[in-house]
């Protein structure tokens, strides 16, 4: 994050972007952000897949891993629609495919109450998630060496990402109506 002395300071280098043709004179920073998001998103996806593989659950896509984490979250049964909503995934087929794959591996179970189907992590699934957590602590969190200031910056970045995701969702709705 920029310090107060950096605010208003002239930029010394051209923006680092992946698509120069999209750079807007109104906000070159948005193109820089989008490039950072692409790179960080890909690194994050690679990380979660490798971390879960190290935990012993191999050949999962990043989405599979994230679905397993969400199904495990707060030890509550989840409906397909709820998982899609929380993960901001529009295509229910993607989540449904991951759930079927995870059920086949024995880490997620489904139950039916009337027409309602819910999903939960099995004991085996929770064990893999716990092992993932241990690996995450040793490989990522310990390497971060975050102090209070860095943790505050990370929290602010998380808030900003939530705000921007809402803006992107609104822009997607606007573009879909054109």
- Token output for 4: 């107060």
pLDDT at position 16, please?
87
User: Rounded to an integer, what distance in angstroms lies between the CA atom of residue 100 and that of residue 115?
Assistant: 18
Q: What is the pTM of this model?
A: 0.87
- What tens digit of pLDDT does each residue of 83-98 get? 999 999 999 999 999 9
User: Rounded to an integer, what distance in angstroms lies between the CA atom of residue 66 and that of residue 60?
Assistant: 10
- What tens digit of pLDDT does each residue of 6-49 get? 555 555 577 888 888 899 889 999 999 999 999 999 999 999 99
pLDDT at position 5, please?
46
């Amino acid at each position: 994050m920029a310090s107060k002395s950096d605010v208003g300071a002239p930029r010394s280098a051209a923006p680092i972007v992946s698509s120069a043709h999209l750079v807007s004179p109104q906000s070159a920073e948005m193109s820089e952000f989008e490039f950072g998001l692409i790179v960080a998103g890909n690194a994050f996806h690679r990380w979660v897949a490798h971390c879960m593989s190290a935990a012993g659950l191999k050949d999962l896509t990043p989405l599979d891993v994230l679905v397993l984490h969400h199904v495990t979250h707060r030890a509550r049964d989840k409906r397909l629609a709820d998982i899609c909503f929380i993960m901001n995934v529009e295509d229910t087929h993607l989540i449904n495919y991951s759930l079927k794959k995870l059920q086949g591996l024995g880490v997620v179970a489904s139950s039916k109450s009337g027409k309602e189907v819910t999903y939960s992590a099995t004991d085996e699934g929770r064990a893999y998630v716990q092992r993932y957590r241990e690996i995450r602590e040793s490989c990522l969190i310990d390497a971060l060496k975050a102090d209070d200031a860095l943790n505050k910056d990370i929290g602010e970045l998380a808030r900003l990402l939530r705000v921007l995701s809402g803006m992107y969702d609104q822009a997607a709705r606007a573009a879909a109506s054109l």
